[in-house]
Amino acid sequence: MTPSTQQWYVVQTHPHAENKAAAHLQRQGFEVYLPRYARRRRHARRTDVTASPLFPRYLFVAVDLVHQRWRVIRSTVGVTNLVCSGDEPTPVARSILSRLKQREDTAGFVQLNVTPHFSTGDGIRVVGGAFSDCLGLFESMTDSERVLVLLDLLGRKVRVTMDIDTIEAA
């Protein structure tokens, strides 16, 4: 079997079963790609980073429809279905997967473009951290995860840098 005859297809999984489905498909000899991103999670005043699927409930599998028994994918543990058009699986363009892989960092996480959904001067409310429930104005992005805001504290404006996920529109 040559890799050039393989094409990529989309597999739908059970909820939160992407890793299980990927492991079982790999055991059956299929090449699997499960794109992930680094998700920051806050709980009990702690922030940690977890690997989350970029497309929840979906992953990609490379299959040679002529030489591989592709119908076994549907009965694989963790898999609900193979995305098809009629009776045949629908192929995904290689360029889509190559672009996803190009955006991966050294840890294997797909880098997402974090663009602020705020404009300079927009009103914001702080939803986490030491300044929780304070009102202010959005000023600018400092890097991909931090923002500069002007908070109204004790009757004057104070410039504060904080995580972008700690603010929301006021």
Fold of 123-169: SH3 type barrels. (2.30.30)
Distance CA 12, CA 73 (A): 10
Distance CA 118, CA 132 (A): 18
Q: Which stretches of 84-124 are DSSP H helices?
A: 94-102
Domain spanning 3-102, CATH class: alpha beta
pLDDT in tens, 3-23: 568 999 999 999 999 999 999
To the nearest whole percent, how much of the chain has pLDDT over 70? Answer: 94
Residue 1 has pLDDT above 70, yes or no: no
- H/E segment holding residue 148: strand 146-153
* Under 8 Å between Cβ of 149 and 162: yes
pLDDT in tens, 104-141: 988 889 887 656 678 888 999 988 778 888 889 999 88
Two tokens, residue 13: 């999984």
Backbone angles phi, psi at 40, to 5 degrees: -85, 130
Closest CA relative to residue 15, chosen from 55, 57, 63, 49: 57
Helix (H, G, I), strand (E, B) or coil at 166: helix
Q: Bridge partners of 82?
A: 11
Per domain, the residue ranges of the chain are 3-102, 123-169
pLDDT in tens, 53-100: 999 999 999 999 988 999 999 999 999 999 998 888 999 999 999 999
**3-102 shares its CATH topology with 123-169:** no
